[in-house]
């Protein structure tokens, strides 16, 4: 009997200690099967140590080219980062610069390769690659990513091609923004899918998370699990452990962590005959 195959992934592993705590707890006690590692993150080394202690936790590369830190020194990326190795926090402005500035392109190529190399230096198997804020789909970035994926033997790349109608039947709030996301990322994903196929790379059949970033709460989980078709899905979220020193920063992340730990979500996964998996489990 066929059944949905679901990869449950946490993004931003390595960004901070609170994110790392949430990821390992969601794996140890909840339904998480996979995560995506920010190799330039402030808590990168801690994340690697935690992952090594959990060999069945799948780990992929969370390519970061905006709203994060580089791997290469600031002096090597004068058109991409500031003196603290920080990329632009304005995705639109960064996207335009990356497209039109040939100096940015040269630096991007070096940084993307450096992030792949940093990941493989950990010795962890690379389950997949995706991108922070989906910047890996940028028309300049994606060919560079694919070239590295082929070279380093990474077989799976996330394409955020989520069905808008399914999301709106569960939660219609924010539909104008969601429609814009559908147009932009749907267009980018179609072109990216052709390039992946040309190189023998794959993505999950359906992705969930684009329209509910920061809002993947228990009620949304329960409604979504009742609507999954019998194909391969990736559900990605952004859990974060509550911090006494940052009580407001963790509000959304702590709700997403609670959903990953929810007994109701675990029970619904069993009731709907979902098979939990990682990208490494796929043929």
Give tens-digit pLDDT for 63-112: 999 999 999 999 999 999 999 999 999 999 999 999 999 999 999 999 99
| CATH number of the domain that residue 49 is part of | 3.20.20.370
pLDDT in tens, 58-70: 999 999 999 999 9
- Distance in angstroms between the alpha carbons of the first and the last residue of the chain: 17
Residues 269, 278, 30: CA angle, nearest 5 degrees: 45
What would the two tokens of residue 184 be?
């932009």
**Contact assessment for residue 93 and residue 65, using Cβ atoms and an 8 Å cutoff:** no
**Contact assessment for residue 61 and residue 115, using Cβ atoms and an 8 Å cutoff:** yes
CA dist 137 and 192 (Å) reads 7
Residue carrying the six token digits 């707890």: 25
Residue 61: what are its φ and ψ, rounded to 5°?
A: -95, 125
3-state secondary structure of 13: strand
CA dist 87 and 66 (Å) reads 5
pLDDT in tens, 235-275: 999 999 987 665 545 668 999 999 999 999 999 999 999 99
CA dist 113 and 144 (Å) reads 8
Q: Which residues form the domain of 46?
A: 5-281
pLDDT on residue 248 = 46
Compute the average pLDDT of residues 140-163. Answer: 97
Q: How many domains does the chain have?
A: 1
Count of helices and strands (H, E) across the chain: 10, 7
């Amino acid at each position: 009997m066929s059944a949905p195959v679901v990869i449950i992934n946490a993004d931003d592993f390595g960004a901070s200690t609170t994110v790392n705590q949430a990821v390992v707890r969601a794996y140890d006690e909840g339904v998480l099967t996979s995560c995506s590692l920010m190799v330039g993150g402030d808590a990168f080394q801690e994340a690697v140590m935690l992952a090594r202690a959990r060999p069945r936790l799948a780990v992929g590369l969370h390519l970061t080219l905006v709203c994060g830190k580089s791997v290469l020194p600031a002096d090597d990326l004068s058109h991409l980062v500031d003196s603290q190795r920080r990329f632009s926090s304005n995705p639109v402005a960064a996207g335009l610069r990356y497209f039109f500035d040939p100096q940015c392109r040269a630096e991007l190529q070096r940084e993307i390769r450096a992030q792949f190399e940093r990941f493989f230096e950990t010795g962890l198997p690379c389950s997949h690659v995706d991108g922070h804020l989906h910047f890996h789909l940028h028309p300049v970035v994606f060919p560079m990513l694919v070239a590295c994926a082929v070279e380093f033997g990474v077989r799976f790349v996330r394409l955020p091609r989520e069905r808008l109608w399914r999301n709106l039947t569960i939660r219609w709030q924010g539909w104008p923004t969601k429609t814009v996301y559908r147009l932009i990322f749907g267009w980018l994903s179609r072109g990216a899918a052709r390039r992946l196929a040309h190189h023998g790379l794959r993505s999950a059949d359906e992705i969930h998370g684009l329209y509910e970033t920061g809002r993947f709460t228990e009620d949304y989980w329960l409604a979504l699990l009742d609507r999954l078709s019998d194909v391969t899905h990736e559900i990605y979220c952004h859990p974060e452990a509550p911090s006494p020193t940052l009580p407001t920063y963790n509000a959304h992340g702590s709700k997403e962590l609670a959903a990953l730990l929810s007994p109701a979500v675990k029970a619904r996964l069993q009731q709907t005959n979902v098979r939990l998996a990682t990208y490494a489990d796929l043929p």
